[in-house]
Amino acid sequence: MPNVTSVPIMPWFEGNDTQLKCTFENGNPDATIVWKKEKDDLQSNDNRHVFDFHNLNRKDNGSTVTCSVYNKYSNQSKSVDIIVEYYPRVVVQHTYVNTSEGKNISINCNASGNPVPIVKWIRNKSQLTGSNTGHSILNINNIDRNNESTYTCTANSISGTYGNLTTKENVSVVVNFAPDVTVNRNLSDIEEGKYLKLQCIAKGKPSYFVYGWRHMFRDIVIRNFESNSRTLLLENLSYQDFGHYECIVNNGIKDRQGRLNQTNGTEIEVKYRPVFIHFNKVITAKVGENVTTAVEFITFPDTNEEVQWKNSTDNSIVVNSSNLFTTLHRQTVDTTIYGKNVSINTFSYRSALVLPKFEIDQAGFYILQVNNTVGGNNITLRVVVSDRPKPPTQFVASVIGSTTVTLTWTGGFNGGNQQTFIITYWEINSSDKRSQNVTEISEQIAYEEIIQDLLPSTTYVFVINSANVEGISDGGNNTVIYKTEGISKTASSILGPVGGSVGGTIFVILIIMVVIFILRKQSDGLKINELYVSAGDDLDPCAGPGDVYAVVDKSNGKKSYSKQHIQETGLYAEVNKRKDAPIKATIDSNAEIQKKLKINRKGKTKIEKKKNDDVYENIGEENHRQIASTNKNKDGLVYADLVFNDDGKRKFVIRGIENKTDYADVDLSIKVDPLPSDESDKEDEQETNNSGGVQKPQ
């Protein structure tokens, strides 16, 4: 039986050269030696006793080599198993792992060797997994940037002959992560009017960043700044720049919540003077109503209640009283910041000026002044009346014709709005009403309107009211009744009751007599366009009531005054002083107010009732000048004062020479104070008393 031995003794080690020797007792005839490795025929051609192994391979491990010896008489063999030890072979799933924060990774490590290796994972000399035979798995869940490292799979075989056989395989794990963002600014104390520089700092992997900026107010996006810059510059700061500023950074990696954009920011608290948000510049008010004008404002820092209301008329501070007081309290203020609606509830206020029962004299301008440590601000508000207009007054007819009536009136307070005067009129016994409107003209008080297409000798009722956007005026003395003149009469109709309450009252009337009269007879001694009173030669001493006249002497031989001696528009007449032709002027049959006409030495004719109630017709140049300078209106017209008693039945007129021409109608609706008497009046009165003048009829 052959014997097979190994040289060296097994186990062998991979890569070495070894031999197997086959020894046996030879027979007769000599034996033949044949080597076989498993199924391979390794028979040596030279019939050798030694089988050589060169550069052992781990594949040789476990193979069987047989040495056979035979001759024609016998066949013997000996087999031996080859044992080859070697370093473990390690196979990992990935040698480079690229991942992102928040993800999970799993890396397999397989190892084979002889002896069988023990496998484990190691990072920085720290064992991460248990020792497993031939296989190990590295699991990292919810990985973050701190897990980025080199991981080593270690396989170790312990050989009794060759010691520890260790093999390692490294795996690189790269962890990408979204940027970490911080924002720095150049100022800590930020005030309106200054500039602010914000700088964005980002750290992430990869380190290529896209930048953006956003202005927020609480959870509302105010502005987006479309610029890929790590710096944001804010100039000329105002209250609208107040808020939160975010830097938005993106490097293509989502964070653990799956967000691509990473943000961080800083609060910008701009200090600013108080800003008025909601208010009405003009507040309309009705008399007697509660009027409140409120102003909402914001401020930073706080005002410390430095809030004052002032009356702009005298710049006085409003002091709280029962009919005027102010209020101040905090409240949320709704406003806009760069066009976006926001609500501000920090240092936001509402201040009000309250007029519990508005009066007209409280209308005007009011100033609200608010201060803080940055500065002050003020706003001027106006309280105006907006009410129904007051009724017109002094509503009368200045001229009454046969088919027309000229109405005059004084406009009342318009209630703060343009008013329209509404004249309604109708025949006194008719229900067919007509109306005529007159629009108020700014700064005009007195008005005149001609009512046309009336019927002659017909009594009409005229009513005037005023209206504006708030309504129609209350009733007042706004009704008059007039009768138009007849076609054939010079003067008819009398004044009706004024507002139903005037009749029976004695009025002092200013009669402005503007008469254009062309008279070219030189024998009359009159100047063109002169205003005079005359009865002519046919004086009737028994003239009836209502006639006022004087006798002009055309034959007394006196030289007529030339035109250069008579001031134009003067009031004059040459008076016949004959005692056999008494001159009278009877105004009323009432004995208490009858008048007499007196002629004084100065050639002045006088109608007398009482002191200051005088009318003169001047003949002398001296007297003419005196009256022209004394009794002259603003337009240069000379006028005289006459006193009448209005009994509601008659109408008075001023007539011209020969009683042929009406110079003017007498309007009893206009009231003025009488002119003062002069020294000449006293002399005239004394002379009349001494000479025994004409007595008032009893």
pLDDT for the residue 608:
41
Q: What pLDDT does 201 receive?
A: 96
User: Looking at residues 516-529, what average pLDDT do you find?
Assistant: 38
Q: Using an 8 Å Cβ cutoff, are 42 and 64 in contact? A: no
Give the pLDDT of residue 342.
96
Distance CA 67, CA 31 (A): 12
Domain boundary among 335, 365, 385: 385
Residues 303 and 444 in one domain: no
Position of tokens 């001047």? Answer: 618
Per-residue model confidence as pLDDT tens digits over 210-267? 999 999 999 999 999 988 899 999 999 999 999 999 999 999 999 999 999 999 999 9
Amino acid at 689: N
Contact criterion met (CB below 8 Å) for 604 and 577: no
Minimal CA–CA distance to 549: which of 585, 593, 602, 595? Answer: 585
**Together in a domain, 326 and 204:** no
What is the per-residue pLDDT across 615-660, written as a single tens digit (0 to 9) for each? 444 444 444 433 334 455 555 565 555 655 665 555 666 666 555 5
Task: Please tell me the predicted confidence (pLDDT) of residue 664.
Answer: 63
245 shares a domain with 108: yes
Shared domain for 337 and 418, answered yes or no, is no
Lookup result for tokens 């009405």:
280
The residue among 176, 122, 170 whose CA lies nearest residue 144 is: 176
Question: What phi-psi label fits residue 540: left (phi over 0), alpha (psi between -120 and 50 degrees) or beta?
Answer: beta
Amino acid 692: pLDDT: 44
Question: Which of 140-154, 171-185, 305-319, 578-592 has the weakest average pLDDT?
Answer: 578-592
Given a contact cutoff of 8 angstroms between Cβ atoms, the answer to whether 570 and 616 are in contact is: no
Tens of pLDDT along 317-353? Answer: 999 999 999 999 999 999 999 999 999 998 999 999 9
User: Which of 242, 270, 298 is a domain's end point?
Assistant: 270
Identify the band that residue 675 occupies on the pLDDT scale cut at 50, 70 and 90.
low
Domain that holds residue 158: 87-270
The answer to whether position 195 is within a domain reads yes
Do residues 119 and 228 both lie within one domain? yes
User: Do residues 291 and 285 lie in contact, with contact meaning Cβ atoms separated by under 8 Å?
Assistant: yes
- Please determine, for residue 110, whether its predicted confidence score (pLDDT) is greater than 70: yes
Closest by Cα among 391, 437, 443, 439 to 413? 391
Summary mean pLDDT of the chain: 77
Element (H, E) at 626: helix 621-630
- Return the amino acid letter for 503: G
**120 lies in the same domain as 249:** yes
Asked if 525 and 681 touch (Cβ cutoff 8 Å), the reply is no
Q: Is the domain of 191 the same as that of 247?
A: yes
Residues 295 and 203 in one domain: no
- When pLDDT is cut at 50, 70 and 90, the band that residue 6 belongs to is confident
Number of domains in the chain: 4
pLDDT digits 0-9 by tens, 43-86? 554 678 898 889 999 988 999 999 989 888 889 889 999 999 99
Provide the 3-class DSSP secondary structure of residue 381.
strand
Q: Which of 43, 63, 82 is the last residue of a domain?
A: 82
Backbone angles phi, psi at 142, to 5 degrees: 50, 55
Question: Quick one: pLDDT at residue 670?
Answer: 62
In terms of Cα–Cα distance, which of 290, 278, 272 is closest to 351?
278
Query: pLDDT higher for 618 or 94?
Result: 94
The token pair that represents 446 in the structure block: 């007195």
Tell whether 278 and 419 lie within a shared domain: no
Do 343 and 237 belong together in one domain? no
Residue 696 tokens read as 């008032």
pLDDT in tens, 540-571: 444 443 344 444 444 444 444 443 333 333 33
